[in-house]
Amino acid sequence: MKGYVHSTETFGSVDGPGIRYVVFMQGCPMRCLYCHNPDSWAIGRGREVTAEELLLEYEKNKMFYRGGGITVTGGEPLLQVDFLIELFSLAKARGIHTCLDTSGITYSPEAKDYVSKLDELMGYTDLVMLDIKHIDPDEHRLLTSRDNGAVLAFARYLAEKNIPTWIRHVIVKGYTDDPEALRSLGRFIGGLRNVRALDVLPYHSMGESKYRELGISYPLEGMPSLDKSEAEKAKNYILEGVREARRSK
């Protein structure tokens, strides 16, 4: 089986625990305003690879990955769930820690065959990093072109399966920094007993140059990168909501 890969990173330090080999899969159904890899959107393009080829690349530097492992991100990796099953099953057979970084946007509880494949994949997955872009469905659509119903349903699915999960949330001024929305996000997270960490990240404009190279307009052109202190402030609002949810139980 072959998958379509946008790129790989040999020494990732922010994509799960430890130093990791990071695989960026090709293809994404969302159009996030701040996406820094617009060249990863197209489905069925990119470098064709087998799972074994990726693991051979991992093996070249495996001495550096102690305490780390493999992270598959995107694009949206769950568009290629069959390939992920093969990659993660082979990785687990070699004792490699596996992490999936996803938006959860492809999840649909009515798609029984697809959910069955997710069930199999979760059996080989040590950690999921779930990006929740916005807790409000309309604001999520404004930010990504899709509402968040599938994302929140996938979060609940992970909780039911008790899959260790890190939540990620990007703070974009004027889009995702409303205190009450952040508290609401916290209340949702507070109801998920499988969450192990919360990463609140400040918006950065590093992807703007890539849009120019591709000859497409950048939706947030001119918006300055956000200071880390703003992300910390936002995280505190989210944690207020988490505590509120847990007190009410």
Tens digit of each residue's pLDDT (9 = 90 or more) over 227-249: 999 999 999 999 999 999 999 87
Q: How many other C-beta atoms are found inside a 10 Å radius of the C-beta of residue 86?
A: 18
Helix/strand/coil for 144: helix
Instruction: Kindly report, residue by residue over 148-165, the tens digit of the pLDDT.
Output: 999 999 999 999 999 999
Q: What per-residue confidence (pLDDT) applies to 84? A: 98
**Contacting residues for 93 by C-beta, under 8 A, at least 6 apart:** none
What is the average pLDDT across 173-197? Answer: 97
Q: What per-residue confidence (pLDDT) applies to 66? A: 87
**Residue predicted with more confidence, 86 or 222:** 86
**What is the full DSSP assignment across 216-247?**
---TTTTPPPPPHHHHHHHHHHHHHHHHHHHH
Q: What per-residue confidence (pLDDT) applies to 60? A: 95
Helix/strand/coil for 33: coil
State what percent of residues in the chain have pLDDT above 70: 100
**Contacting residues for 212 by C-beta, under 8 A, at least 6 apart:** 218
Half-sphere CA count of 145, side-chain side, radius 13 A: 10
State what percent of residues in the chain have pLDDT above 90: 94
Q: How many other C-beta atoms are found inside a 10 Å radius of the C-beta of residue 75?
A: 29
Q: How many other C-beta atoms are found inside a 10 Å radius of the C-beta of residue 1?
A: 11
Q: How confident is the model at residue 207 (pLDDT cuts 50, 70, 90)?
A: confident
Q: How confident is the model at residue 57 (pLDDT cuts 50, 70, 90)?
A: very high
Instruction: Kindly report, residue by residue over 209-226, the tens digit of the pLDDT.
Output: 889 999 999 999 989 999
Q: What per-residue confidence (pLDDT) applies to 248? A: 85
Domain-by-domain residue ranges, the chain? 2-247
What is the average pLDDT across 166-191? Answer: 97
Residue 133 has pLDDT above 80, yes or no: yes
Q: Does 1.20.140.150 match the CATH number of domain 2-247?
A: no
